[in-house]
Amino acid sequence: MERSMTDEELAYVYWALSDAFVDTEVDYEAIARQTEDYDPNEIKRILYHEVAPVCHTNLETIIPIIWSAFNLENLKNDIKETLRAREASALRRIKDKLLIRWLEFRYRYIWTEISKNYKKHD
């Protein structure tokens, strides 16, 4: 059943989705379990518009800094700051729009893996 999120739940959705950007084997089934109660379109939007812009660089470095999990408080603050900067600057919105399109292309497999692990609700 799809439902809206509290701020605390949103933070844990961020944290669950950030697991796709750590330098270990990703448990997509676990990410799906933690996010399947919400609207899949909203989860996909959060993945590419909020989490990926903050976390993607971890997968793009030769030696990733984050191996097992992102720090929840740091992650929330980094996403909040990114969203605040995007809202405050038209140039930043344009830059981020391009970045998001690239992230959706580059990391398409992440959403494919998460969504195929969602259970079908009858």
Torsion over CA of 55, 120, 38 and 99, rounded to 10 degrees?
A: 30
Provide the residue ranges of all domains of the chain, joining segments of one domain with +.
Answer: 7-116
Terminal Cα distance for the chain, rounded = 9
C-alpha span between 43 and 15 (Å, rounded): 12
The amino acid sitting at 79 is: I
**This prediction's pTM:** 0.88
Tens digit of each residue's pLDDT (9 = 90 or more) over 12-62: 999 999 999 987 899 999 999 999 999 999 999 999 999 999 999 888 766
The predicted pLDDT at position 59 comes to: 80
Crossing angle of helices 28-35 and 7-18, in 10° steps, is 170
The predicted pLDDT at position 109 comes to: 97
Tens digit of each residue's pLDDT (9 = 90 or more) over 38-50: 999 999 999 999 9
Tens digit of each residue's pLDDT (9 = 90 or more) over 82-107: 999 999 999 999 999 999 999 999 99
